[in-house]
Amino acid sequence: QKEVEQNSGPLSVPEGAIASLNCTYSDRVSQSFFWYRQYSGKSPELIMSIYSNGDKEDGRFTAQLNKASQYVSLLIRDSQPSDSATYLCAVLRGDAGNMLTFGGGTRLMVKP
């Protein structure tokens, strides 16, 4: 099992819809979780971080964490074509000296 897993997509949603991106992780002691957005040919940029169970909202973005199920998700409300990018889930692994480990990313396409 990979340490951090994501569906590679592409996930296609119409403009204005909610995009739901999911991530599972294997390390039960991980405490820090991140969502990065990466446009083609660019470096990743942080859009959300979450450390506690539950939801965390920032504008159109909501991160959800369930440590019991080892699951973290990202919801994007009112999706815009400019949200089209690859979304990378990252976990700071407590079982491995605080290695920051990334999933393979999910490509999101928002169609006008």
Partner 1 sequence: NAGVTQTPKFRILKIGQSMTLQCAQDMNHNYMYWYRQDPGMGLKLIYYSVGAGITDKGEVPNGYNVSRSTTEDFPLRLELAAPSQTSVYFCASSYLGQFTEAFFGQGTRLTVV
Residues 42-71 within binding reach of partner 1 (CB under 8 A): 42-46, 49, 51
Closest to partner 1 by CB, 76 vs 91, is: 91
Does 25 engage in binding with partner 1 (CB under 8 A)? no
| Long-range contacts at 43-46 (CB < 8 A, ≥ 24 apart) | 44/88
Q: Which of 12, 15, 98, 111 touches partner 1 (CB under 8 A)?
A: 98
Please say which residue, 17 or 94, places its beta carbon nearer to partner 1.
94
Please report the beta strands in the chain, taking only residues with DSSP state E, as ranges in sequence order: 4-5, 11-14, 19-25, 32-38, 45-50, 54-58, 61-66, 71-76, 85-93, 99-102, 106-111
**Residue 92 sits in the site that holds partner 1 (CB under 8 A):** yes
